[in-house]
């Protein structure tokens, strides 16, 4: 699981702990099976805890909660993800400047 996917997953779970796996997969743009796999991986690592509750339709549903170690891992993932995005941003700025120079030379 990439840092980007893990970061998004943590953010969604924090904002909406009672989210269904189907809705989670739709928000992340991944298959339902992959969403299930990712959640199980986070649960297995002890970063997320799933609690049963009954919803209005008399069916069991789950609430996903970050554990203390999950909160710590979210901070680490967020930092790694931020560093990578900042590096990509810096590389894009250089590429944009090079393209601007190329375009200005072609106008001459």
Whether the CB-CB separation of 25 and 62 falls below 8 Å is answered with no
For the chain, give percent helix, strand, coil, nearest 5: 70, 15, 20
Computed from CA positions of residues 27, 17, 9, 7, in that sequence, does the dihedral angle turn out positive or negative? positive
At 21 the pLDDT is 92
Tens of pLDDT, residues 45-89: 999 999 887 665 655 678 999 999 999 999 999 999 999 999 999
Angle at 75 between CA 39 and CA 16, to 5 degrees: 45
Task: Spell out the domains of the chain, with CATH numbers in brackets.
Answer: 3-80 (1.10.10.10)
At 55 the pLDDT is 62
From the list 79, 82, 83, 50, the residue with the least C-alpha distance to 67 is 50
């Amino acid at each position: 699981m990439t840092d980007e996917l893990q970061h998004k997953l943590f953010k969604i779970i924090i904002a909406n702990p009672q989210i269904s796996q189907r809705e989670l997969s739709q928000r992340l743009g991944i298959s339902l099976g992959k969403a299930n796999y990712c959640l199980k991986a986070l649960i297995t690592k002890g970063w997320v805890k799933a609690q049963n509750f009954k919803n209005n339709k008399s069916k069991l549903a789950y609430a996903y909660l970050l554990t203390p170690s999950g909160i710590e891992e979210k901070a680490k993932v967020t930092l790694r993800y931020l560093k990578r995005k900042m590096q990509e941003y810096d590389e894009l700025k250089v590429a944009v400047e090079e393209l601007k120079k190329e375009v200005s030379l072609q106008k001459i």
